Amino acid sequence: MTPSDIFTKRQTEFTHQAEVFQRSYNQLSTVRLIIFVAAVFTVWQTLSFPIWIPLVSGIVGLTLFAFILRRHQTTKRQWELHRALAALNTDEAERLSLRFARSATGAEFAVKNHVYCNDLDIFGPHSLFRLLNRAHTRIGMQTLAEWLLSPADPIEISVRQDAIRELTPLLDWRQELEANARLEKRIAEPTDFLERWLHAGENKAILRWKKLRLLPVLTISIIIGAFLGWIPWLTAVLFLGFHSFILTKLNPSVKEYAEQSQGIVDTLKALGILLEKIEKHSFQSAKLQQLQYRLTSETGAASKQIKVLASVTESLNFRLNPYFMLAIGLPSLWDLQWMTKLEAWKQTHRHNLAKWLAVVGQMEALGSLAGFSYANPQYPFAEISPEVFQLKALKTGHPLIHPAKRVSNDFALNDIGQTAVITGSNMSGKSTFLRTVGLNTVLALAGSPVCAEAFTCSPVRVFTSMRTQDSLEDNTSSFYAELKRLEALLQLAQSSSIPVFYFLDEILKGTNSVDRHKGAEALIRQLHVLKSSGFVSTHDLELGMMSIEHDYVHNYSFYSTFSDGQLHFDYHLQEGVCREFNATALMRQIGIEIN
């Protein structure tokens, strides 16, 4: 079966199972109501009987109701989980056709003036991030974005590849992990509040008053004594007044935590489920075992500790109900009890939470690349070359072009100081080819499979100058913007510890042909003596003549043909300088009369 067939089959199966759970959920709702009504009716009818009869009837009814309620909640969870699994497989099937159901584009992770992310469509509506991303937590999406923005070292690439190979066939496990994350709608929100709380130091107000945590035992005993007439009510009122004084002193810090944590409880519960799934699976690859090991500590499993934090935070947030605080919170010193537990949790796990979240982030990032690998079994992993600079791409294609329309090409470039000059007519494929090689290099250096039959590259720093635009805000023309970009390239090539792999599209297009040629030729010569190699695409045919005198310049081209009033492109890379152009034909097509 093809991945498309598998995803379609699973979508159908999970939809059917979700419908079964929905029917069971509806039936349990009816049973709950019947048990409740029957219990109330039985207690009411037996009130005239000996007291133990309505008491036992009430206890039995309450026990049955609690049992059905538990079943009802479990069934609802299964219903929602299978709906999520069905949606995931629908998303996977759509993704094969480059249609993206999820709204996350990664735009928030884009870095202004980054060396390549804007030119290579790393983020955006039709982007590499959207093609790859199967993460749902904020840290998961951020980790994937960071991997796409920065090349990993060869050892890290190797261990990521091994981890992805192991995760790729684990479709059920991966999708269950993703579905559990998907169920919590706020799981993608930042956890900055928790990190600030963890590093804020000890709460002095809690330290001052925590010795009085057992005071409510005495206060409640006095209240009971007052009800029985053994103790004056004034004594109980005085004790409650002292409770109120304590809670007033605690209120600023407690209120801040409670209000900011109100929406994070469900996220913590979901993280607990994700961590538990990671902890319980048996992994073989070094990367996955290392991540799993980081979830263990002297205080127990990370999932258990996160669930404790969720439970304590949820209990504290009962204080947001004023009736609860008056009836229970005041006599029990509710804020003091639960904030003391939170402070104890913070002191124990102050340095663990960030580590645990990082594990979830890396697992989601690896799961995203494993999902990409599963959906495209023909994509190989890149071979990372030990040479200073080597690129060898066999039948490499653009991963964001539909396979039915994608044209793949072979290409090789070896040693530093080399420049491939790409000439060709308009719309013939120069820019797309540069993005094809650039994107696959980014994938390779992230540890991901690549869109090629085979792909070999050295560790490099990718740099692009392709979409330079003018800016009213910065008061720069498009030509000056390109010059600033080229300045950044030269600085990077001088300072980078690894070779720079540059992609310069339509170089110096914003100036006259004479200055463009002089500038491009000078730049290529300057880059030759630096730690760099790459591409320069241009319409300047004279630039290709550099190969006659300089063996570090190599000419390639794309062609178009004109027949029956139509332009035709084959998008296949050829050696040599392009000798046929189509600008005149294109201008005639739009109505410009050229003799």
pLDDT in tens, 153-176: 999 999 999 999 999 999 999 999
**Amino acid 583: pLDDT:** 55
Phi, psi of 255 (to 5 degrees): -60, -40
- % of the chain residues with pLDDT over 90: 53
In order, the DSSP letters of 57-113 are HHHHHHHHHHHHHHHHHHHHHHHHHHHHHHHHHHHHHHHTTT---S----GGG--TT
- % of the chain residues with pLDDT over 70: 94
**Amino acid 517: pLDDT:** 80
Q: With 80 as the cut, is the pLDDT of residue 470 above it?
A: no
Q: What is the average pLDDT across 573-593?
A: 66
Cβ–Cβ < 8 Å for 330, 216: no
Q: With 70 as the cut, is the pLDDT of residue 233 above it?
A: yes
**Amino acid 149: pLDDT:** 97
Q: What is the average pLDDT across 124-152?
A: 96
- 287 or 545, higher pLDDT: 287
Range with the lowest mean pLDDT among 117-121, 146-150, 554-558, 564-568?
564-568
**Amino acid 365: pLDDT:** 98
Range with the lowest mean pLDDT among 67-76, 367-376, 577-586?
577-586
pLDDT digits (tens, 9 = 90+) for 380-412: 999 999 999 999 999 999 999 999 999 999 999
**Amino acid 343: pLDDT:** 87
Other C-beta atoms within 10 Å of 64: how many? 16
**Amino acid 520: pLDDT:** 84
Cβ–Cβ < 8 Å for 498, 532: no
Task: For residue 391, list its beta bridge partners.
Answer: 413, 457
Q: With 50 as the cut, is the pLDDT of residue 472 above it?
A: no
Range with the lowest mean pLDDT among 48-57, 79-88, 362-371?
48-57
**In terms of DSSP bridges, do strands 560-563 and 566-569 run parallel, antiparallel, or are they unpaired?**
antiparallel
Query: CA of 576: how far to CAs of 180, 382, 537, 545, 558, in Å?
Result: 54, 28, 13, 10, 9
Q: What is the average pLDDT across 468-484?
A: 65
Q: At what angle do helices 138-149 and 430-446 cross, to 10 degrees?
A: 120
**Amino acid 254: pLDDT:** 84
Query: How wide is the angle at C-alpha 81 spanned by C-alphas 78 and 82, nearest 5°?
Result: 85
> Rounded CA gap, 532 and 458, in Å?
12
Range with the lowest mean pLDDT among 126-140, 206-220, 566-580?
566-580
Q: With 70 as the cut, is the pLDDT of residue 510 above it?
A: no
How many distinct helices (H) and strands (E) make up the chain? 22, 12
> Rounded CA gap, 525 and 550, in Å?
9
Cβ–Cβ < 8 Å for 312, 345: yes
**Amino acid 55: pLDDT:** 81
Please tell me the CATH superfamily of domain 383-589, with its number.
P-loop containing nucleotide triphosphate hydrolases (3.40.50.300)
